[in-house]
Amino acid sequence: MAKLIIQIPCLNEADTLPGTIGDLPRAIPGIDVVEYLVVDDGSTDNTVEVARRLGVHHVVRFRRHKGLAAAFMAGIDAAVKLGADYIVNTDGDNQYAGADVPTLLAPLLAGKADIVIGDRNIQTMEHLSLMRKRLQQLGSWVVRQVSNTKVPDTTSGFRAYTREAALRMTIVSDFSYTLESIIQAGKKRMAIAHVPIRTNRRTRRSRLFGSVWTYIKASAATIVRIYAMYEPLKVFGSIGLLFFAAGLTVSLRFLYYYYAGAGSGHLQSLILSAILMIVGFQVALIGLLADVISGNRKLLEDVLYRVRRLEIEREQPENLMAGSLDRPH
């Protein structure tokens, strides 16, 4: 029996949650059970009460605001423990058209993908400025390069996961899960698909970041950090090679003047060359050490995956299906 859980991370979404829930499907071909899960990220309004009044099946509550990434992972963890075979993530502001959930699930049900990400076709979104559209395009291109994927809309939060993909997901960022999860999935060789989706009229401004530049800095830091976690030898090796090459170039310059009889006047070049080459060598060594640590991290991720499976297998179904995970975090 195939079970789908649609999770909705929420922060003060009492006004928009009714529209979000009302837009979601109650039945989907190929799915036997459809349930909703709200993750309350420390809301100060009556989001939880509204969710219960709307008939939401499960609620996970944080005592205080922890951020979108933490809310996303809490929802993923709760969904797999509740026996979900498929998990769809959507936003509480009703940005995404709930009627497109079956479209999002289609590649998963057909066995063609582990993760499916909705493509909003950023260029057609009227409320976004031209600058935002160009930045979104650039950011998605960068993520595609570092993750070796073909996802056109990497910041889309409308996405679907198989149970297996969800179990292997580990988000370490405090900012957002969207970019990190794609890079992580790409490095783990998961099958990632994308489908065109529709969006609803905007109900409010984004709360994820205060300004465009704040978002750019946070996103860039996330991309660099996650890529360095999975490809440390490439990152540090490239940096070390640049320093070493610069030092080698300066040393060749010194040798030129030395054999020209003017070497005594360019001792600064010799010193600079030595410093640059030593720094380059040390950075390369850091890359080798980081690569060993990266190997250990992959082993830890595999252990975490196995522990999650064991936890789920040992959970009592009657406890999981009680109708709520209303526990403080």
pLDDT in tens, 254-308: 887 777 777 666 778 888 999 999 999 999 999 999 888 888 877 888 888 888 8
Summarize the confidence of residues 199-223 as an average pLDDT.
Answer: 72
Q: How many CA atoms lie within 13 A of 49 on its CB side?
A: 4
Residue 100 has pLDDT above 70, yes or no: yes
Residue partners of 229: CB distance under 8 A and separation at least 6 = 172, 294, 297
pLDDT score of 285: 93
pLDDT score of 312: 77
pLDDT score of 328: 47
Summarize the confidence of residues 159-174 as an average pLDDT.
Answer: 89
Q: Domain residue spans in the chain?
A: 3-230, 232-303
Q: Which two tokens mark 274?
A: 């030595």
Summarize the confidence of residues 84-90 as an average pLDDT.
Answer: 96
Between 230 and 188, whose confidence is greater?
188
| Residue-wise pLDDT tens digits, 187-197 | 889 999 999 99
| Confidence at 322, pLDDT banded by 50, 70, 90 | very low
CB-CB contact of 14 with 44 (8 Å): no
Block residue for tokens 């989706």? 197
295 to each of 112, 165, 184, 240, 292, how far by Cα in Å? Answer: 29, 20, 14, 20, 5
pTM tops 0.75: yes
pLDDT score of 10: 94
| Confidence at 315, pLDDT banded by 50, 70, 90 | low
Is 224 in a helix, a strand, or coil? helix
**Least confident stretch, 98-102, 216-220, 241-245, 304-308:** 216-220
Q: Which of 110, 208, 202, 207 is nearest to 160 (CA)?
A: 110
Q: Which two tokens mark 107?
A: 């590649």
Of 3.90.550.10, 3.30.430.20, 3.30.870.10, 3.20.10.10, the CATH number of 3-230 is: 3.90.550.10
| Residue-wise pLDDT tens digits, 172-182 | 877 778 888 99
Segment of 90-104, 135-149, 169-183 carrying the highest mean pLDDT:
90-104
Between 222 and 40, whose confidence is greater?
40
Residue 144 exposed, middle or buried by CB count within 10 Å (0-12, 13-18, 19+): middle
